[in-house]
Amino acid sequence: MVLQTPDEGVSDASGLTTAQAAQRLLDDGPNALPGDQRRSLRAIARETLQEPMFMLLLAAGVLYLVLGDLQEGLVLFGLVLVVLALTLYQEGKTERAMAALRDLTSPRALVLRDGRPQRSAGREVVRGDLLVLAEGDRIPADALLISGSEVQVDESLLTGEALPVSKVAGATAAPAATVRPGGDGLAYLYSGTLLVQGHGMARVTATGARSEIGRIGTALESLTLERSPLKKQTTRLVQVLAVIAFITSLLLVLAYGLLRGDWLAALLAGIALAMAMLPQEFTVVLTVLPALGAWRLSKQNVLTRRIAAIETLGATSVLCVDKTGTLTENRMTVVQLYARGEVGRQGESLAIDYAASTELPETFHTLVEYSILASMSDPFDPMEKAFHRLGQHFLADTEHLHHDWTLKHEYGLTPELRAMSHVWKALAGESSHVVAAKGAPEAIVDLCHLDEDAQADIGAAVEAMAAQGLRVLGVAQARFAGEDWPAIEHDFEFEFIGLLGLADPLRAEIPDAVAQCRSAGIRVVMITGDYPATARAIAAQAQLDAGEVLTGDAMALMSEAELQARMATVSVCARIAPEQKLRIVQALKANAEVVAMTGDGVNDAPALKAAHVGVAMGGRGTDVAREAASLVLLDDNFASIVRAVRLGRRIFDNLRKSMSYILAVHVPIAGMALLPVLLGWPTVLFPLHIAFLELVIDPACSMVFENEPSESDVMQRPPRDAMAQLFGGMTLALALLQGVGVLLVVLGAYAWGATWLTEKEARAFAFTTLVMGNVALIFSNRSRTGSLWASLRVPNRTLWLVTGVTLGFLGLVLYLPGIARLFVFEPLALPDLLTALVLGLLSVFWFEAIKFSRRLMQTRPR
């Protein structure tokens, strides 16, 4: 790690200016690892030309040149370039989508620019930036800690040691050149490591390849991600078909050569059959559709960190969501105060109206004062911001705001005590310290050691606030002499001050989103740390079933079997600690549910990782939560999850439609390449014909179906079986039957046409029928249940573009003499052309009849 001296003109308080940061980004380059670049067009072209389909096309072109047919060979090479250009366009579009996703997934950093904290992409962090770090943050660059409190960092990414190391601001126990990761009590922070405790500020000293992790970037480049089950399944299918294609093509070459004695023609027939049988489009579809689907999801404020999660979205049966910020707006405002009265007197409540007054009764001054003292001075938490706004509005001209006090010690939240405390040094000369605590009402009551009557009064006040849907926090105060701080907060003599009730309004779109989930067979489970009464009130507003509420305390007493039984019916979980989310996920999974779980904190990471689909908060979530999750909500909005489920189902549907089409269309192509040869007829399909068909199939399977809108019933179906194969069973059988149907019609068209047409006219007649059958398969596979005619009204501009270009090129190969000679065609008379087009459309008629009978059965009253 290369440490540098502080920059001249750069203030430790204000950080870099925007102009300075832009210049350094230009000078040093982005803060990215050496291998974090997208593939070049040259690399994509090289990979594409190594595909079996292109190698077969090139082999056919060479054979034509050997046979002396220069024109045919050059046309084939030209088609190679056209298909290559189409592939480059598709892959380039995919790469651009993935690059956009990589930019979004770049760790977000909070930096000081122009004296103001602002969120920046990790790639844009530069040398000299001031980082504002908090617990759970992934450190974006090598840096020197200049201030901080109880900072501990997990450096296992660099050292392999799981135990966190402590960091001390300004410590320089060793020269910079000799410092290595893993040092305890030093000030050096490293890119990619994790802040597991504390908070602080650090100055960036090295970015990108100059950072410690940048030096091992080459090793990281060699790491590959595990392929999804869908890709593995499809790879196996393609491998089986490739073996069958190779063996069948070899047998065809031998049979053709032995029976007819023309071994070069036999080799061309074998190449044509191999091209016809290889469904190499499967791999294209499995790359293009999920990648562009992930890009579409990002437009819906949902970032896909793991593409395989898209497969699971459509199968999700339970959505576990946080209340605060996900169902609600996370825009906290203090709307009610409760100050405890003197002994023997009831406490006093006050509804806050910011518009009506700027004065606050003296009774509540201390409550507001200590709520601010127990918060961060420059808070990011919405509740703490609300306390500061309350103080600025009502106490701005009083002695209750202490900008000149010094924070001496902090006690953070723990699973055992949901409260935090700050110890302050008042004005110079005073020996005692002021202690302010805030947290869950029961935790504050516990700290204050109140009697049963006082606890009952406070409990009643809490219930009254919670019943209004308010988030309730308690506040307490204490004095402490000396600086020998107690190990735990219980050792302070706390005095209870009062309660604050905060309102966080429900997002307007939540009831409709919950209704969509209900119609889609997805159960929504709300999880919150709030009181049961608050949770029940919010659940009622969201139109969730608020009848039964499971509390964290009750859950702690349950066995796994008991929890599993309760989670089968519960929709509201209140007073839940973050670590209890993992038990909830495991109980739901034990009930055979497919679980999506939201979370934002460090402690949420295990639950996010355990869920089938972990959903992290992009706005308020920690880097740890985001890295453990499959999806990230950029707007922290539950409605975005529902939109993601809808889009996930659409993507899955379109994958299935596309793959059904690919398999179906290869059956008649392979059949027409093989059967005429076996039957002793003239060859119908040459490599040139199949290359032409590939120009239709490639954009159809990737671009047409990717642009296909959602089915009308996409959110009225129950979740699909997560264990069901994407392409198997009835779906596979119907795809094969569709292909066989088209093959029989095309084969029959050729046999029929050969009775009154010349050989070249019959070939053109059969080819036209096959092309039209191909187009009919595209339209027929657009909907699982809707008719081909109904699909004409569903907008898809890419579909009409592909169809128009296909029919246009078909006209050229039939009627442009030079091209017709290359395709070994003779022009068809208009009646023959119309007959071939109609036969192509009729080739999928039987499949449309099956869909019609299904619709009839579904609408028939039972």
The Cα–Cα gap between 800 and 789 comes to: 14
What burial class does residue 69 get, using C-beta atoms within 10 Å of its C-beta: 0-12 exposed, 13-18 middle, 19+ buried? middle
Q: Which residue has the tokens 């950072």?
A: 211
First to last CA, the chain: 74
Strand segments (E) across 266-418: 302-304, 318-322, 333-339, 348-351, 406-411
Q: How far apart are CA 424 and CA 480, in angstroms?
A: 10
Mention every residue, 6+ apart, whose C-beta is less than 8 A from residue 677.
252, 255, 256, 269, 683
Using alpha carbons, select from 349, 330, 346 the residue that is nearest to residue 499: 349
Cβ neighbours for 721, distance < 8 A, ≥ 6 positions apart: 315
Residue in the structure block whose two tokens are 């005590």? 417
Can you give the three-state secondary structure of 468-521, one letter per residue? CCCEEEEEEEEEEECCCCCCCHHHCCCEEEEEEEEECCECCCHHHHHHHHHHCC
Asked whether 842 and 745 are in contact (CB, 8 A), the reply is yes
Do residues 241 and 736 make contact, with C-beta atoms less than 8 angstroms apart?
no
634: helix, strand or coil: coil
Residue 500 tokens read as: 């604050």
Among residues 542, 548, 656, 674, the alpha carbon closest in space to that of 276 is found at: 674
Alpha-carbon distances of 434 from 95, 396, 430, rounded to whole Å: 57, 20, 10
Residue 413: count other Cβ atoms within 10 Å of its Cβ: 13
| Farthest-apart Cα atoms in the chain, separation | 114
* Residue 254 host element (H or E): helix 229-260
- Residue whose tokens read 């595209």: 778
Annotated catalytic, 404?
no
Classify burial at 675, counting beta carbons within 10 Å of its beta carbon; exposed 0-12, middle 13-18, buried 19 or more.
Answer: middle
What letter represents residue 497's amino acid? I
Question: How many residues are given for the chain?
Answer: 862
274 neighbors 249 (Cβ within 8 angstroms)? yes
* Coil vs helix vs strand at 712: coil
User: Distance (Å, rounded) from C-alpha 396 to C-alpha 391?
Assistant: 7
Q: At what angle do helices 830-842 and 730-753 cross, to 10 degrees?
A: 160
Catalytic residue from among 322, 604, 623, 832 = 322
Indicate the DSSP class of residue 31. Answer: S
Number of helices (H) and strands (E), helices first, in the chain? 31, 22
Q: Are 746 and 851 in contact (CB under 8 A)?
A: no
Residue 90: strand, helix, or coil: helix
Q: In what order do the strands lie in the sheet with 549-551?
A: 302-304, 631-633, 613-617, 595-599, 318-322, 523-527, 572-574, 549-551
* SS3 label, residue 425: strand
Distance in angstroms (rounded) separating the CA atoms of residues 648 and 659: 17
CA angle 601, 606, 612 (to 5 degrees): 110
Active-site positions read 322
